Amino acid sequence: MKPNFCVNIDKLRLKNPVIVASGTFGYAEEFKDIVDLKKLGGIVSKTITLNPRKGNPPPRTCETPAGMLNSIGLENPGVKVFLKEKLPVLKKIGVPIIVSIASESGPEEFVSLAKQLDKIACIAAIELNISCPNVSRLAGVPVSRCADKLISQDADSTYALVNAVRKVTKKTLITKLSPNITDITEIASAAQTAGSNAVSLINTIAAMSIDIEKKSFKIASGVAGLSGPAIKPIAVRMVWEVYQKIKIPIIGMGGIMNTADAIEFFLAGSSAIAIGTANFINPGINVEIIDGIKKYMIKNKIKGLKNLTGGLII
Amino acid sequence: MIFQIKAKVFENIRVAQEYYKIILFCPAIAESAKPGQFVNIKVSDTIEPFLRRPFSIHQAGNQYPETKNRIEILYAAVGIGTQLLAQKKPGEFLDIIGPLGNGFNYMDSKQKATRQILVAGGMGVAPLLFFAKRYPLNGMILIGTKTKNQILCEKDFEKLGLDVKIATDDGSRGFKGRVTELLKNVLRTTQYARRTMIYACGPHPMLQEISRISKKYNIQAQISLEEHMCCGVGACLGCVIETKQGYKRVCKEGPIFNAQEIIWGKNTL
Ligand SMILES: Cc1cc2nc3c(=O)[nH]c(=O)nc-3n(C[C@H](O)[C@H](O)[C@H](O)COP(=O)(O)OP(=O)(O)OC[C@H]3O[C@@H](n4cnc5c(N)ncnc54)[C@H](O)[C@@H]3O)c2cc1C
Ligand SMILES: Cc1cc2nc3c(=O)[nH]c(=O)nc-3n(C[C@H](O)[C@H](O)[C@H](O)COP(=O)(O)O)c2cc1C
Ligand code: FES
């Protein structure tokens, strides 16, 4: 038996359901020596903004039990340099390229970015990062000093933003959701109603670590995003909740380290999964998980991914 | 070219106090590694500790029979990861990624200088021995530690014909005081102040002081920096350091930087 391993999300065709999560795989070229990039189901770029962004001051990362904190602050070279220098390299790999975008100013920047990307054939989909905990809507102000709300913490803002972007592009739209919220399903529904073709969840969880010797934050910006196995059970729960509520596909992520973790996300309702922090620990893990899911499906006589998604028996 | 390899442990021995040396079998990395580069090591098979640990390559390559197909890491057991590393037994395997980073620039030294001063603070001898073994040097090494029991690799440097000078904080060996004070003495009293390139590795306060000294004497210094790392390959942007040209990744544009490029702030290690 050869299980059907393809996933279609609107016009986005993935040959397998394993993609790499935004911000954890750079622009892919960094891993070319040690990962067989052609085998990936898809690649999500580091989030880009209209203008180059310097990012947050160091230290930007620290280790925590079963995970890590990061506050990169969306450092990126801006869309112009991305299109000129990074995209051509990504394109050559030959797997679907999903470009993650965010705004430093307001919804208009998302619209302007989407318009530019819409014209470029080799971009398979756009991911709207409305959930980065490490930037506020005021450019450059660390969240610790500015308790501004994220777009994905408000259903109306989410609807308005996705709706505005939807109007300017026919490309597959994926909306990336924040777990830093009471009811994530409201945001997922708003994204669906506004015309998003899929949701991806979860982004990192707002968190903090303190150095007790220095009596200071371990991360310069104070608040940072928690990722890795520590967040997996929360992510699985959120995927399951969203799956009950919406019809569009879910790209599940949050702490996936191995095949068993990945299968949990499918059973909870994911149509595809993304590997994030695990890329830092074992860059070869993507390919291992692709093979592992296949084996699991064969062993359990599961014909296609459709039969695995939401396969949780309650 | 970067490799991810399951490297077999040959030997893992304590060399002094909390300092250890581990020898790993990994021909691909050993062959291509340059002095100043590092490897990112997974020290356990479980998710604790979670991240890999970066270590400079201490010796490698086929130049000497004792390092053929092998790399050596000199490390201090200071926390959970390095303490686990110290427990590894010969025959066990470690998942390592490398060689990473840019490495020291020796050509620069040849063009712009006729002498080299190597300055090591504590563990800082680790990449400098590899450097001294690889390239013909005309100069000296200053090794600074808290006390005499922590002095590493003194004999190795002597064997290579380098003039070795020691500084200890407590005065138990050599110059009493900081290695940077010793450096100032050397620059003041010898011909070393001209056409000299400094190569330094050690704690950041020491490197910051070396930046200051090298500026004052108008000589160049290449310094090896540290920052918390995740991917080690330039993807996560987690390891940046502030430079005059903006943030740079220690794992990719570094770990070796020109001392004058660095903007020293309170947030570096
Ligand atoms: C390029 C580079 C080369 C290095 N070369 C050597 C070497 O040759 N020998 C040696 O003994 N040490 C070296 N270090 C430092 C070494 O990486 C740390 O001592 C080690 O990561 C500590 O891990 P731990 O679990 O024992 O300590 P913990 O304090 O428990 O570590 C907690 C976290 O902080 C990080 N961390 C702690 N100290 C440092 C540090 N100084 N630099 C970067 N991350 C740190 C750890 O990686 C880990 O993620 C190097 C660091 C870098 C960046
Ligand atoms: C260092 C780092 C940088 C990240 N950068 C981004 C980013 O630019 N855009 C984004 O949408 N998510 C970003 N994320 C979040 C991940 O894409 C992912 O949603 C999250 O880490 C949870 O998955 P994981 O536990 O598998 O890493 C980043 C995560 C990490 C660890
Ligand atoms: S450690 Fe990831 S960019 Fe340097």
Q: Could you read off the pLDDT of A49-63 as tens digits, one per residue?
A: 999 999 999 999 999
Q: What integer pLDDT is reported at residue B66 of this predicted model?
A: 75
pLDDT at B107 over 90: no
If one compares A3 and A185, the residue with the highest pLDDT of the two is: A185
Instruction: Give B150 Cα–ligand 2 centroid separation in angstroms.
Output: 41
Those residues whose C-beta lies under 8 Å from the C-beta of residue B15, and which sit 6 or more positions away, are: B21, B74, B152
Mean pLDDT of chain B: 93
Tell me the CA distances in angstroms from A77 to A48, A86, B153, B179, one per residue in order.
7, 10, 43, 40
pLDDT at A302 over 80: yes
Structure token digits, residue B267: 């947030």
B235 lines ligand 2 (CB under 6 A): no
Between CA B240 and CA A59 the distance in angstroms is: 8
Task: Answer yes or no: is A260 within a domain.
Answer: yes
Task: Answer yes or no: is A294 within a domain.
Answer: yes
Degrees, nearest 5: CA angle A109-A111-A116: 95
Amino acid, single-letter form, for residue A299: K
Q: Which B-chain residues 48-67 have CB contacts (< 8 A) with chain A?
A: 48-52
For chain A, how many structural domains are there in total? 1
Task: Answer yes or no: is A314 within a domain.
Answer: no
Task: Answer yes or no: is A125 within a domain.
Answer: yes
Cα nearest neighbour of A216 on chain B:
B267
Instruction: Give B165 Cα–ligand 2 centroid separation in angstroms.
Output: 48
Amino acid, single-letter form, for residue B59: Q
Residues forming beta bridges with residue B76, ordered by sequence position? B19
Task: Answer yes or no: is A127 within a domain.
Answer: yes
Interface check for B80 against chain A (CB to CB < 8 A): the answer is no
pLDDT at B70 over 80: yes
Mean pLDDT of B121-134: 96
Q: What integer pLDDT is reported at residue A3 of this predicted model?
A: 82
Task: Answer yes or no: is A1 within a domain.
Answer: no
Those residues whose C-beta lies under 8 Å from the C-beta of residue A212, and which sit 6 or more positions away, are: none
Between CA B242 and CA B250 the distance in angstroms is: 10
Go through B238-256 and write b for each residue having 16 or more CB atoms within 10 A of its CB, e for each that does not.
Answer: bbbbbbeeebbbbbbbbbb
- Quickly list H helices, chain A: 79-81, 87-93, 107-118, 155-166, 184-193, 232-245, 259-268, 278-281, 285-299, 305-308
CATH number of the CATH domain containing A292:
3.20.20.70
Task: For residue A34, give the nearest of B2, B227, B239 by CB distance.
Answer: B2
Which domains, and CATH codes, for chain B? 3-100 (2.40.30.10), 109-266 (3.40.50.80)
Between CA A28 and CA A11 the distance in angstroms is: 22
Tell me how long chain A is: 314
Residue-range definition of the domain harbouring residue A292: 7-308
pLDDT at B109 over 80: no
Between CA A275 and CA A261 the distance in angstroms is: 10
Task: Answer yes or no: is A230 within a domain.
Answer: yes
Between CA A12 and CA B223 the distance in angstroms is: 47
Task: Answer yes or no: is A73 within a domain.
Answer: yes
Mean pLDDT of chain A: 93
Q: Which of A167, A61, A48 is nearest to A113 (CA)?
A: A48
What are the residue numbers of the active site of A? Answer: 132
Tell me how long chain B is: 269
With CB atoms and an 8 Å threshold, state whether A30 touches B233: yes
The answer to whether B79 and B256 are in contact (CB under 8 A) is no
pLDDT at B101 over 90: yes
pLDDT at B179 over 60: yes
Q: What is the ipTM of this complex?
A: 0.93
Q: Which of B142, B135, B137 is nearest to B200 (CA)?
A: B142
A41 lines ligand 2 (CB under 6 A): no
Which pTM does this prediction carry? 0.95
Degrees, nearest 5: CA angle A26-B3-B125: 100
Burial class (CB in 10 A: 0-12, 13-18, 19+), A314: exposed
Q: What integer pLDDT is reported at residue A127 of this predicted model?
A: 98
